Amino acid sequence: MFRRPSRMMQSTLAAGVVGALLSLLAGCSAPPPRNIAVWSEFLPYDRVQQELPELADFGASLYVAVRPDGVGDPLWSLMRAASDLGVSVRPWLLLPDKGVWMHEQNIQDFDAFADDFLNQAASAGVQVDWIIFDLEPSIDLAINLTQEADNQADLFTYLADQANHTSFIVARTRLQLLVDKLHNRKIKVMAATLPWIIDDLGDGDPDLQDLFNTPLADIPWDEVSVMAYRPAWSDLFRLPFTPAFVARYAAQAKRFYGDRAEVAIGHVGTPGLLVQPGYLIPSPLVEDATAVAMSGVDRISIYSLDGLLEQGGSRRWLSALRKPATLRPNLFNPMLDLFAIIINSGDRLASILGVGDPKDNAAPQFPFEPYEPQPAPPGP
Question: What is the structure's pLDDT at 339?
Answer: 85
Can you tell me the distance from the alpha carbon of 200 to that of 196, in angstroms, rounded to the nearest whole number? 7
Question: What is the structure's pLDDT at 247?
Answer: 96
Domain 33-352, what fold? TIM Barrel (3.20.20)
Strand, coil or helix: 262: strand
Question: What is the structure's pLDDT at 2?
Answer: 27
Domain ranges in the chain are 33-352
Question: What is the structure's pLDDT at 275?
Answer: 62
CA separation, residue 167 to residues 194, 212, 362 (Å): 20, 12, 12
Question: What is the structure's pLDDT at 367?
Answer: 36
β-strand pairing of 261-266 with 223-227: parallel
182, 221 Cβ separation under 8 angstroms: no
Question: What is the structure's pLDDT at 187?
Answer: 98
Question: What is the structure's pLDDT at 14?
Answer: 37
**pLDDT tens series, the chain, 380 aa:** 323 333 333 333 333 433 443 344 344 446 778 899 999 999 999 999 999 999 999 999 999 999 999 999 999 999 999 999 999 999 999 999 999 999 999 999 999 999 999 999 999 999 999 999 999 988 776 666 666 555 555 666 666 677 788 999 999 999 999 999 999 999 999 999 999 999 999 888 898 899 889 999 999 999 999 999 999 999 888 889 999 999 999 999 999 999 999 999 999 998 665 567 899 999 999 999 999 999 999 999 999 999 999 999 999 999 999 988 776 888 888 888 888 887 887 777 777 666 655 443 333 333 333 334 344 445 44
The dihedral sign for the CA sequence 147, 198, 224, 244: positive
| Residues whose CB is less than 8 angstroms from the CB of residue 2 and which lie 6 or more positions away in sequence, other chains included | none
Provide the whole-model pTM. Answer: 0.84
> Helices H, strands E: what count in the chain?
16, 8
Can you tell me the distance from the alpha carbon of 274 to that of 55, in angstroms, rounded to the nearest whole number? 27
Question: What is the structure's pLDDT at 18?
Answer: 35
Single out the residue of 74, 66, 9 nearest to residue 40, CA to CA: 66
52, 24 Cβ separation under 8 angstroms: no
